């Protein structure tokens, strides 16, 4: 027979009342999170990007969403001379609060709205399987991409990320090495292309007709594996005629080069050190063959490059006597050290504007390997 203690519940209730604490209800296991893109994100603004298409031209899209429910939607096929088609109208949030659908003027196109981007949905409302179907939210409502095109070209290094032929099929022969894409650098009126077998150099001009014209590209004369040399020749041939340049802005902007013969090159831009930090000072570093033990290893393995600064005169001859090698606890962007190899580097030294006077804040970027020698063990 269970033991009964009269008044026990009264005592417990009195103790709870004296403690001043209110009993907490159990959590509601069935509670629904009501947060969604519509009520949680700063979604209004301008979105832009390039949407890839299998077997058909890629499309540049630009979508502007207003808090009043209005949109402007522009589409342009990445084909030389194509004109954009622009529609305006109303968009509607779907019940999930994460998806919008444009009205009939926008073709009923649907978008999944996320943090800083929208995903272009398939015609049935499903998400695409392949990557490259998103538009990135721009920091500000930027003008047409042609404005400031020359500055955009010069402020970035452009890595070839995609190439399709007139049949809209991938041009795989332009990517003979997965880790060495072609990289375009524009400076003044000069163009440098690296990444293949040889460096390609020439002049360029942006015409009043909006076309980018390259002078005949001169090439170094190194011998490489046949696929690399064939890629050089194919790229030179493709750029022999003027191309239409088109820049899609964003954190990593895209440069499209549209050839009259139907080929399309897409390049991804990264800001140059000059655009990031301002003017540079050129210095020369001699890097010893082996790394040294140090306290502030940038790689975390307790080892640093051994470096000393050297000086050259106007004729390219060494002058003065270099000091002792010192452990270098920083990094040199673009430089990968091979153990047992001594290198002389031409390096650009940048001092960020927000760290003037702090030598430890300097940024070093490899400009050129001047000398290289493998040292005997």
Torsion angle defined by CA atoms of residues 247, 102, 116 and 128, in that order, rounded to the nearest 10 degrees = -80
> Is residue 81 included in any domain, yes or no?
yes
Q: Which residues pair with 267 in a beta bridge?
A: 160, 255
267 shares a domain with 153: yes
> Is residue 245 included in any domain, yes or no?
yes
pLDDT tens figures, 246-278 = 999 888 899 999 999 999 999 999 999 899 888
Structure tokens that stand for 187 in this block: 């400076």
Q: How many domains does the chain have?
A: 3
> Is residue 236 included in any domain, yes or no?
yes
**CA-to-CA distance for 77 and 56, rounded, in angstroms?**
9
Q: What is the pTM of this model?
A: 0.77
106 shares a domain with 47: yes
pLDDT tens figures, 59-90 = 999 999 999 999 999 999 999 989 999 999 99
User: Domain range holding 60?
Assistant: 41-137
Q: Give which of 251, 281, 270, 252 is closest to 365, Cα–Cα.
A: 281
Q: What is the CA 158 to chain-centroid distance, rounded?
A: 10
Structure tokens that stand for 19 in this block: 């403690």
> Is residue 27 included in any domain, yes or no?
no
pLDDT tens figures, 309-348 = 999 988 888 899 989 999 998 899 989 999 999 999 999 9
Last residue of a domain, one of 98, 113, 137: 137
């Amino acid at each position: 027979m269970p033991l009964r203690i009269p008044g026990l519940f009264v005592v417990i209730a009195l103790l709870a009342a004296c403690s001043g604490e209110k009993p907490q209800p159990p959590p509601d296991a069935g509670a629904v999170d009501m947060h969604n893109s519509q009520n949680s994100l700063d979604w209004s603004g301008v979105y832009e990007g390039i949407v890839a298409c299998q077997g058909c031209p890629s499309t540049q899209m630009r979508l502007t969403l207003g808090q009043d429910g209005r949109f402007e939607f522009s589409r342009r096929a990445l084909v030389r001379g194509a004109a954009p088609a622009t529609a305006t109208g109303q968009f509607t949030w779907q019940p999930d609060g994460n998806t919008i659908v444009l009205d009939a003027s926008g073709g009923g196109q649907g978008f999944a709205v996320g943090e800083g981007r929208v995903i272009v949905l398939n015609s049935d409302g499903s998400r695409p399987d392949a990557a490259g179907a998103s538009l990135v939210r721009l920091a500000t409502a930027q003008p047409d991409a042609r404005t400031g095109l020359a500055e955009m070209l010069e402020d970035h290094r452009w890595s070839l990320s995609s190439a399709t032929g007139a049949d809209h099929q991938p041009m795989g022969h332009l990517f003979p090495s997965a880790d060495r894409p072609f990289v375009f650098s524009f400076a003044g009126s000069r163009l440098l292309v690296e990444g293949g077998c040889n460096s390609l150099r020439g002049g360029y001009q942006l015409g009043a007709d909006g076309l980018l014209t390259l002078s005949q590209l001169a090439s170094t004369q190194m011998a490489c594996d046949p696929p690399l040399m064939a890629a050089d020749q194919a790229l030179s041939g493709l750029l022999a005629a003027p191309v239409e340049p088109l820049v899609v802005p964003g954190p990593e902007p895209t440069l499209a080069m549209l050839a009259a013969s139907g080929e399309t090159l897409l390049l991804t831009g990264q800001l140059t050190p000059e655009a990031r930090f301002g003017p540079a000072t050129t210095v020369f570093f001699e890097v010893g063959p082996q790394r040294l033990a140090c306290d502030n290893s940038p790689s975390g393995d307790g080892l640093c490059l051994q470096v000393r600064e050297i000086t050259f005169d106007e004729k390219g001859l060494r002058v003065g006597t270099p000091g002792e090698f010192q452990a270098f606890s920083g990094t040199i962007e673009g430089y990968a050290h091979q153990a047992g190899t001594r290198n002389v580097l031409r390096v650009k030294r940048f001092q960020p504007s927000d760290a003037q006077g702090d030598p430890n804040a300097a940024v070093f970027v490899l400009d050129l390997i001047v000398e290289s020698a493998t040292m005997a063990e």
